Structure 1
C-alpha cells in the first residue's frame, strides 16, 4: 500500500522456483514500473524519497555496474579542483554515501558488523557507516554533498533535479555480466547460480534495481535538462578526454590541457584498478567480500560475448529491441 509520505505501492513478490537470486531473500516490487529490491528497502524508501535536496548536491547514478565508480571519481575530482591528495586519502565510499546501500545487509549481518566495530576501535566509524542510514550520513555532510545511488529518478526525491545529476549508462549485456561477477564476489550475496541463471533473473526482473531499461530510460528522458548530464560508458572508454571535458563544462569548471591530461591519466583503467581509494577494500577487511576478488574488474566493452551462447544472444537481441522500440535511446555499442 502507498502511504501519505510515499506515493508508490510496495508489493511482496513470490520468486518462481526456476529463478535463482542473491541470498534467496524475499523481494518487493515498487510502483507502476515494478522496480525490484530486497524487502529491507521497504524501511528506507520513504526516507530517501522525502530527503532534502540542495542545489549544491551532486548525484552520480546508474544501473549497477555501468561505470558508476569510475564516474564518481571523475566527478569528485572535477568539482573539487583536482584535489588528488584528498581523493587518495579518503575512500570513495566515504566521499559518496550509497543511498540505498544499507538495504544489502539483513539484521544478522548488521549485528556482526556492529559487533566487530565494538572490537576494532580503529575501524569503528567505517564499520558503523557501512550499515548506518545513508540519508543520515548525507544530512551530516557539508556541502557540496556527493551521493551515489542506483535508484531511478522516480524513486529519488521529486525535486532531485534541483541538484546536479550525472547518469552513466552501459550496454546492458556488459553491465549484467559485471553485476554477476560483483554478486559472486560478495560473501553476503550468497549467490550459488551460474551466469545464465543470473541473466535470466535480470531479464525477467527479479534482480535488485531491475527493470534495467526503465532505470536507464527515466534518465534518458531528462537528458536535456540543464541539471542532468547523461554519459555512456562506451564513450568514456573510447574517448575519455571528451567525456572529461563534458563533465567539466557541466560543472562550469575550466582546466588547462595539461590538467585534463593528468586527470585522464589518473583515470586510466590500470591506474584506477590499482587505486586503493576506489576498490572497496573495507568490504574485504570486514569479511563481506572474497579477498581474491576485485571490485574494479576488467572494464571491457563487448566482453559479454565471452558469456553468451547462441540462445542467450538471440534472447538478448529480442529483449533489447523490444525495450528500445518506443524510444530514441541508442547505445554506442549497438550502432
Structure 2
C-alpha cells in the first residue's frame, strides 16, 4: 500500500481536534465492513473467562468488531506521507501519549499555555481519531479525509495491520511493563464486569488469547520495526516517560519533524506541554471526569485516569502471579534486546 501525498499549499495545518471536524453528511455511509467468508472458520476463544468471544485473525486475537476494522484498514486505509499514528497495546499509556503527541504537534496553532487549549475542553481521545472506530464501518471515515495534514491518529492494532510499505507514514509506539499493563487492564474491564477476577485477566494474557494479543507479538512487531526503520517507528516506554517526560517530548518532536527551536526552549514550551498533559492536570478536568468513553464501550472517561504510576502491580498480584508472567516475558523477549527492568 503506497502512501499518498496530501494538503496542497495554503490549506490549514494539522493536527486539529477531531471532535471539531465537520463532514458533509452525504459522504457518510453507515454500511458495516463485510468480513471474509472464511472468517467464521478461524480459531475462536473466550477471553477473560467470560462472554468476550475472539478469533485469531492473521496471528492476532480480535473480536468480530475489531476484525472488521482490521479488514477495512487493509482494504481502504490510504496513509499520507506525513501521517503520524500513535500505537499501543491497550492500557499501556495511550491516553497520555495521545495528549503529548497532540500538544506537541499542534503547539503552533494551540500553544500549551493558552487558556483555550483543546485539551482543556476535550478528552485526548476526542482530539485524535481512533482508527478502529473509524473503520468499523464507513460512517466516520469521511472525517479522516477531512483532516488537514499532518494527520494524527491512534490505534491498538498490530503493526502489520496498519503499517504501509516503504515511504509510508510514521508510527509512535508506547509499551508498558506487562504486570502493570495487566493490572491496569483488569481495573478498566471491571467497569464492564465488576466481578471480573484478576486471575482471569492474567490467564487470558498469558495464553495470548486476549483482544489484540498475544501481547508479546504485538510489542515485538513494533520493537523490531523500530530497530529496522528508526525513521519510521519510534518506540517509547511508559516508565521512561514517567522518569523524563520532557526528554521524551523532545524526542517525539524530533521524530515527527517538528523539533523545538532554541526560542521555544527558552520560552519553556516543552515544560508547558508536560504540565498541560500531566496526570494531575488532566484528571480533574470535566472532559476527563464525566461522560462515557465511547457509545459502544460503556466505560466512564474517568477510567482512563486511575493512578498513572509504575509498579502498582505489586499491590494486586500475588508473587506466584508475578512470577508466572515474568517467566513468559523472559522467554518471549529473550535475545531481542528489549527488557522491562
> Aligning the two structures, in what range does the TM-score lie when normalised by the shorter sequence?
0.7 to 0.9
Higher helix share: 1
Which region of structure 1 is more displaced relative to structure 2, 289-298 or 258-267?
289-298
The whole-number CA distance in structure 1 between the counterparts of 2:131 and 2:156 is 8
TM superposition shift of 1:101: 3.6
Q: Is contact 2:48-2:200 (8 Å) kept?
A: yes
The whole-number CA distance in structure 2 between the counterparts of 1:232 and 1:208 is 21
Residues 28-82 of structure 1 deviation map (CA, whole Å, 9 limit, x = unaligned): 1111xx2111122333322111310101211100111111110111111111125
Distance 1:295 1:161, change over 3 A: farther
Unaligned residue ranges in structure 1 (runs of 5+): 105-130
Q: Does 1:202 align with 2:205?
A: yes
The one of 228, 237, 240 equivalent to 1:235 is: 240
Report what 2:333 is aligned to.
Answer: 324
Q: Is contact 2:179-2:313 (8 Å) kept?
A: yes
The whole-number CA distance in structure 1 between the counterparts of 2:327 and 2:139 is 39
Q: Does 1:163 align with 2:188?
A: no
The one of 303, 309, 330 equivalent to 2:318 is: 309
Distance 1:236 1:161, change over 3 A: farther
TM superposition shift of 1:21: 4.4
Q: Is contact 1:26-1:38 (8 Å) kept?
A: yes
Q: Is contact 2:292-2:298 (8 Å) kept?
A: yes
Q: Does 1:12 align with 2:39?
A: no
Report what 1:222 is aligned to.
Answer: 225
Q: Does 1:88 align with 2:120?
A: yes
Q: Is contact 1:153-1:218 (8 Å) kept?
A: yes
Report what 2:269 is aligned to.
Answer: 259
Distance 1:291 1:232, change over 3 A: closer
What SS class does the counterpart of residue 100 from structure 1 fall into? helix
Unaligned residue ranges in structure 2 (runs of 5+): 1-33
**Which aligned pairs between 1:77-226 and structure 2 lie closer than 5 A?**
77-81=103-107, 83=110, 84=112, 85-101=117-133, 133=139, 135-159=141-165, 162-185=168-191, 187=192, 190=193, 192-224=195-227, 225=229, 226=231
Distance 1:247 1:301, change over 3 A: same
Aligned length: 292
What SS class does the counterpart of residue 337 from structure 2 fall into? coil
Distance 1:21 1:207, change over 3 A: farther
Report what 1:58 is aligned to.
Answer: 84
The whole-number CA distance in structure 2 between the counterparts of 1:36 and 1:65 is 17
| Cα RMSD (Å) | 2.9
The whole-number CA distance in structure 2 between the counterparts of 1:292 and 1:40 is 21
Q: Is contact 1:12-1:27 (8 Å) kept?
A: no
Q: TM-score, normalised by structure 2?
A: 0.76
The whole-number CA distance in structure 1 between the counterparts of 2:210 and 2:194 is 12
Q: TM-score, normalised by structure 1?
A: 0.78
TM superposition shift of 1:100: 1.5
The whole-number CA distance in structure 2 between the counterparts of 1:242 and 1:149 is 24
TM superposition shift of 1:306: 1.2
Q: Does 1:270 align with 2:280?
A: yes
Distance 1:72 1:315, change over 3 A: same
